[in-house]
Amino acid sequence: MPIHIYFGDDEFRMERAIKQLRTQIISPPWESFNVTHYPPGLQSLPQALSDIMTPPFGNGNRLVVLPNSSMLEAMDDQMLGQLEQILPAIPESNTLVLTRTKKPDGRLKSTKLLQKYAQIQEFSLIPAWKTDPLVQQVKTAAEELGVDITSTAAKELASAVGNNTRLLYSELEKLATWSNGSSIDANQVKEVVEITTQTAIALAAAIRTEDTTQALQLLSGLRSRNEPMLKVVATLITLFRQWLWVKLLTLEGETDNQILAKYTEIGNPNRVYYLCQEVSRISLPRLQRIMAQLLELDVTLKSSSNFCAVQSQIVELCFP
Asked if the model's pLDDT at residue 139 lies above 90, the reply is: yes
Q: Count the alpha carbons within 13 Å of 167 in the hemisphere toward its beta carbon.
A: 15
Same domain flag for 175 and 154: yes
Residue 61: give its domain's CATH number: 3.40.50.300
Asked if the model's pLDDT at residue 81 lies above 70, the reply is: yes
Same domain flag for 159 and 234: no
Same domain flag for 140 and 107: no
Region 67-79 average pLDDT: 83
Burial status of residue 17 (CB atoms within 10 A of its CB: 0-12, 13-18, 19 or more): middle
Domain boundary among 192, 222, 241: 192
Region 275-279 average pLDDT: 86
Share in percent of the chain as helix, strand, coil (round to 5)? 60, 10, 30
Asked if the model's pLDDT at residue 48 lies above 90, the reply is: no
User: pLDDT class for 194, splitting at 50, 70, 90?
Assistant: low
What was the pLDDT predicted at 303? 80
Taking only the tens place, the pLDDT of each residue in 218-263 is 888 888 777 788 888 888 898 899 899 999 988 988 888 888 888 7
Same domain flag for 159 and 224: no
Residues 108 and 69: their CA atoms lie apart, in Å, by 14
Same domain flag for 227 and 276: yes
Asked if the model's pLDDT at residue 316 lies above 80, the reply is: yes
- Candidate from 51-65, 190-204, 209-223, 235-249 with smallest mean pLDDT: 190-204
What was the pLDDT predicted at 94? 93
Asked if the model's pLDDT at residue 197 lies above 80, the reply is: no
The total of structural domains in the chain comes to 3
Strands 3-7 and 94-100: parallel
Taking only the tens place, the pLDDT of each residue in 260-274 is 888 777 766 777 888
Same domain flag for 182 and 230: no
Residue 303: give its domain's CATH number: 1.20.272.10
Asked if the model's pLDDT at residue 286 lies above 60, the reply is: yes
Show Cβ contacts of residue 223 under 8 Å, excluding neighbours closer than 6 positions: 229, 307
35 closest CA partner among 77, 96, 76, 104: 96
Same domain flag for 36 and 98: yes
Asked if the model's pLDDT at residue 309 lies above 60, the reply is: yes
Choice between 231 and 99, residue whose per-residue pLDDT is larger: 99
Region 158-173 average pLDDT: 86
User: pLDDT class for 42, splitting at 50, 70, 90?
Assistant: low
What's the domain range around 283?
A: 200-317
Same domain flag for 109 and 33: yes
Residue 146: give its domain's CATH number: 1.10.8.60
* DSSP per-residue letters across 187-247: HHHHHHPPP---SHHHHHHHHHTT-HHHHHHHHHHHHHTT--HHHHHHHHHHHHHHHHHHH
Please give the model's pTM, rounded to 2 decimal places: 0.65
Same domain flag for 283 and 229: yes
Same domain flag for 98 and 64: yes
Residues 52 and 16: their CA atoms lie apart, in Å, by 21
Residues 62 and 161: their CA atoms lie apart, in Å, by 36
Domain boundary among 145, 167, 192: 192
Domain boundary among 79, 105, 122: 122
Mean pLDDT of the chain: 86
Same domain flag for 165 and 211: no
Same domain flag for 35 and 145: no
Choice between 139 and 78, residue whose per-residue pLDDT is larger: 139
